[in-house]
Structure 1
Amino acid sequence: MTDPVISLKDACLSLEGNAGRVEILHSITLTVNRGETLGLVGPSGSGKSSLLMLMGGLEQATGGSVTVLGRDLTAMDEDALARFRRDHMGVVFQSFHLIPTMTALENVATPLELAGARDAFARAGAELETVGLSHRANHYPAQLSGGEQQRVALARASVMRPEILLADEPTGNLDTANGAAIIDLLLGLRDRHGATLVLVTHSDDLAARCDRVVRLRDGRVALSDTREAAE
């Protein structure tokens, strides 16, 4: 029996541009089930990242519905969406988005502190150890390599034990070796915490390790199939 945690029905996204309104996503209907790993693939400009942003409430749909864990994201304001993400989602970006004035440990502890956890730093330290960076806990982002920064970002995304992990090109800024290590860590975190994972990727290796691949083209779903579709 399927257990949907993300459901989009006729979801649309349009944004105002210099030349007027631009249609980004067109009537996307898609379900992601609990524990599934879904890869979003397609050419640049196809709408992959925009679709991920809709799932995370980082963009508001301009039509249709987006339901996550039974909650209608289109009915929530920015504050409610921020709390919902904090409590239920972990998000990893291609460009890391670490706070430059905070150490690795402080970056990972931030969501715990915002949630009022008294053991924030102990839990953050344990999560850094999980990604192999306990020895870099007191270093600032500028003192870390790209691969290390992405490990910190992964630790920060997973430290709250989210039901859903969203990753936007998590290996896009990394070389082959570091990219492969991040893929292993990301899938390992998914397995350890039982999270549902949705990721945007241009990596054939990463797409091939997903349970299902959705291919986008021109803001529409062009193909939804098992991982053989990416191979």
Structure 2
Amino acid sequence: MPDPVLSLDTVRLSLRSNAGEVEILRGLSAHAERGETLGLIGPSGSGKSSLLMIMGGLERATSGRVHALGQDLTAMNEDALARFRRAHMGIVFQSFHLIPTMTALENVATPLELAGHKDAFGRAAEELDAVGLDKRKDHYPAQMSGGEQQRVALARAAAPRPDILLADEPTGNLDGATGEAIMDLLFGLRDRHGATLVLVTHAPELTRRCDRVIRLEDGRIAGEGATAEAAE
């Protein structure tokens, strides 16, 4: 097997609560190949979103190792992780996480400016065009529908041309027709930029479009296969 873009080796995650320590992930090992679309499925509370956050360096594993593009994320401090994400990762959340006081164009351009991109606003405009928001660039999030806000979030994630695209329930807050359009855009961005896509989803229609799926139950891998049915 060639070197994977993402690999996790015996990853555990424990969080403290009033009732004591809670084990969220229980020694998971997994990988994602270059250009692959990997779906993370399973019941609520199974650890899917936590696993995705660990892949993105947004949550630190209690033990185990996480490698991305040959770099050991578990050995990086917060500043190094932020720089790595900015250079190599795009992340799409269910709740959009747009800055309300910025226009669509500014929301997409800001991460590019922070990364020192010479034509941040030009690139941002290009990505908004690609998701069908060429006429909404100067609108604020509150002036947009949920589907439009998710399109802005997709454009923001894709603008740096990431090697790895992570999506946490990207259609979870959207109606069926809008969610389907977002799915098409998400896979289009993957194809256009050649990124490895890892997504958390409960949507069977989204899972069927993945190359491979991992099913989680109670913080463990309960199955893995080329389709949702194979992983169940």
CA contact (8 A) 2:223 2:231 kept: no
CA distance in 1: counterparts of 2:29 and 2:111, whole angstroms: 31
What's the counterpart of residue 183 of structure 2? 183
Structure 1 runs of 4+ aligned residues shifted over 6 Å read: none
CA distance in 1: counterparts of 2:17 and 2:91, whole angstroms: 26
What CA deviation, in whole Å up to 9, does each residue of 1:115-147 have, x standing for no partner? Answer: 111210011001000000010000000000000
What's the counterpart of residue 81 of structure 1? 81
CA distance in 1: counterparts of 2:144 and 2:79, whole angstroms: 32
SS at match of 1:14: strand
CA distance in 1: counterparts of 2:207 and 2:230, whole angstroms: 9
What's the counterpart of residue 222 of structure 2? 222
CA contact (8 A) 1:207 1:230 kept: no
Amino acid at match of 1:79: D
CA distance in 2: counterparts of 1:70 and 1:56, whole angstroms: 14
What's the counterpart of residue 197 of structure 2? 197
What's the counterpart of residue 53 of structure 1? 53
Q: Return the offset for 1:59.
A: 0.4
What is the correspondence of 1:47-126 to structure 2 with a 5 Å cutoff? 47-126=47-126
CA contact (8 A) 2:6 2:55 kept: yes
What CA deviation, in whole Å up to 9, does each residue of 1:78-111 have, x standing for no partner? Answer: 1111110000000000000000000000000011
Question: Normalization by structure 1: what TM-score?
Answer: 0.98
Q: Return the offset for 1:18.
A: 1.8
CA contact (8 A) 2:222 2:231 kept: no
Q: Return the offset for 1:51.
A: 0.3
Question: Normalization by structure 2: what TM-score?
Answer: 0.98
Unaligned runs of 5+ in 2: none
CA distance in 2: counterparts of 1:3 and 1:65, whole angstroms: 15
Range with bigger deviation, 76-85 or 167-176 = 76-85
CA contact (8 A) 1:13 1:62 kept: yes
The answer as to 2:170 corresponding to 1:173 is no
What's the counterpart of residue 12 of structure 2? 12
Amino acid at match of 1:211: D
Q: Return the offset for 1:2.
A: 3.2
What's the counterpart of residue 34 of structure 1? 34
What's the counterpart of residue 151 of structure 1? 151
Instruction: Please tell me the root mean square deviation across aligned C-alpha atoms, in Å.
Output: 1.0
How many percent identity over aligned positions?
Answer: 73
CA distance in 2: counterparts of 1:73 and 1:54, whole angstroms: 9
CA distance in 2: counterparts of 1:71 and 1:97, whole angstroms: 27
CA contact (8 A) 1:10 1:65 kept: yes
What's the counterpart of residue 24 of structure 2? 24
Q: Return the offset for 1:164.
A: 0.2
Amino acid at match of 1:82: A
CA distance in 2: counterparts of 1:30 and 1:173, whole angstroms: 28
CA distance in 2: counterparts of 1:53 and 1:15, whole angstroms: 14
Q: Return the offset for 1:229.
A: 2.3
Q: Return the offset for 1:230.
A: 6.0
User: Judging changes above 3 Å, is the alpha-carbon distance between structure 1 residues 189 and 105 closer, same or farther for their aligned structure 2 residues?
Assistant: same
Q: Return the offset for 1:21.
A: 1.2
CA contact (8 A) 2:89 2:164 kept: yes
Unaligned runs of 5+ in 1: none
